[in-house]
Amino acid sequence: MVPLSHIAAFAVAASILIIIPGPNVLFAIGRALSLGRRSAVLSVAGGVSGSFVPLVAVSFGLGAVLMASAMLFLIVKVVGAAYLIYLGITTIRQRKKLAAALQSKAPSADGRRVFRQGFVVGATNPKTIVFFAAVLPQFAEPSRGALPAQLLTLGAVFLAIQALSDGTWALLAATARSWFARSPRRLETIGSTGGLMIIGVGAGMALTGAN
């Protein structure tokens, strides 16, 4: 069982990463603006379902390996931290893409196709993959055993926050397009702030030990 203190700390770290607009959010916003609320919800559902793929891979594969090798754990943590910093810098540099998504016109698609596309986006989201591989194991407690179950528990918290955050973004885009469109700078500011927060998470992960 994962200690409640670890779950709370993980929820904070996950929220920081999830709330920042990424591939899943951009896709959902595009569908929300061009196809409406139903497609927005399906996009989010697909993205969250897709995120389950790297979660299972880490929980039953990489997680066990990391528990057996302290050196590999350190390597993964450093590489993951470096990549998170890179993602933060990239988020700042590409902040205009979020505003551009508000004016994009996605092609017409049925519900299954929208869900399937969202699933692919979620399963291949580099931010999610790196977070699960490098950050998720640090909040587990190997001495308590059942590491895969611990990782899945933490992952479930991540997916719940993701569904809430991505869903909020998508529905907000579907209902408040005019407000966003009047000032694309609002979204650019969010992107810049989010990039700095991602860099902070990466730097903090690199400088602190495992929980």
Longest pairwise C-alpha distance within the chain: 54
* pLDDT per position as a tens digit, 88-131: 687 677 667 666 655 555 445 577 888 988 898 888 777 787 78
Structure tokens given for 107 = 């092609």
114 vs 174, more confident:
114
Each residue of 16-39: b (16+ CB within 10 Å) or e?
ebbbbbbebbbbbbbbbbbbeeeb
Tell me the range of 45-49, 63-67, 100-104, 193-197 where mean pLDDT is highest.
45-49
* Residues 115 and 43: beta-carbon distance below 8 Å: yes
Query: Which are the contacts of 69, defined by CB distance < 8 A and separation ≥ 6?
Result: none
Kindly tell me if the per-residue pLDDT of 198 is higher than 70. no
φ/ψ (deg, to 5) at 108: -65, 140
Q: pLDDT value at position 76?
A: 63
Per-domain boundaries in the chain? 4-207
For residue 156, the model assigns a pLDDT of: 93
The pTM for the full model equals 0.68
Q: How confident is the model at residue 40 (pLDDT cuts 50, 70, 90)?
A: confident
What percent of the chain lies above the pLDDT cut of 90? 9
Torsional class of 109: left (φ above 0), alpha (ψ -120 to 50), beta (otherwise): beta
Average pLDDT (36-62) is 86
User: For residue 185, what are its two tokens?
Assistant: 């700078």
180: number of Cβ within 10 Å = 19
